[in-house]
Amino acid sequence: MHQVITVIVYAENKNEALDKAKTIFERLCENQYPFDYFTTFDEDGIGTSGKDRWGNLPAVTLAISKKGKELIEQGIKFTKDEFMENLKIIRKLLKKKTDKELFEKDGGVEMFRFSCYQIGRHRGSSVWLYDNDGEGITDPEHLKNVLKKWNDKSYRGLKIYVVPADVHY
């Protein structure tokens, strides 16, 4: 399966932003966990990934640009949608099944444990947006802190960039 995830990084320029993001993507693919591989949008996807699969997304864009804002909004929206879908499954099963059935997986409720796992993840297929440290942005407060982090002394003088990549899991 493929999906486009986005990393928000702080850098002096686009080249530095792309390099930082690639380091984060490499960590997210380390030992093929949680992703197998990635393709950034400055690379040839060899017909199967990146721009060959998703079209011409910018390789790097400023967070304050129209496309940057769109990528950030899309990332948090997809993360929220995934959360809500799993939460719906959990609520439904909690109403229908006893604690014993959920614990013992009676009645085919393996989906209950999987959905709980997905909600608790901070990286992987249920998280579409990542910060400068490679941590999954899983809620609006985390996103707000990431976007305001540039006020911190150690980030002064750096711009906030958004870098998408096609990942496979």
- What pLDDT digit, counting tens, does each position of 105-142 carry? 766 678 898 999 999 999 999 999 999 999 999 999 99
The pLDDT confidence band at residue 154, using thresholds 50, 70 and 90, is confident
Q: % helix / strand / coil in the chain, to the nearest 5? A: 50, 15, 35
Tens digits of residue pLDDT in 69-109: 999 999 999 999 999 999 999 999 999 998 888 888 766 67
Alpha carbon distance 53, 18 (integer Å): 20
Task: Assess contact for 11 and 159: CB atoms under 8 A.
Answer: yes
- List all residues 6 or more positions away from 137 whose beta carbon is below 8 Å from its beta carbon: 8, 75, 76, 79, 127, 129, 130, 131, 143, 146
Alpha carbon distance 78, 128 (integer Å): 6
Rounded to the nearest 10°, the torsion over CA 95, 107, 111, 99 is 50
pLDDT at 151: 63
Percent of the chain with pLDDT over 90: 76
Q: Classify 52 as helix, strand or coil.
A: helix
Question: Where are the chain's structural domains?
Answer: 2-168
166 has which bridge partners? 4, 39
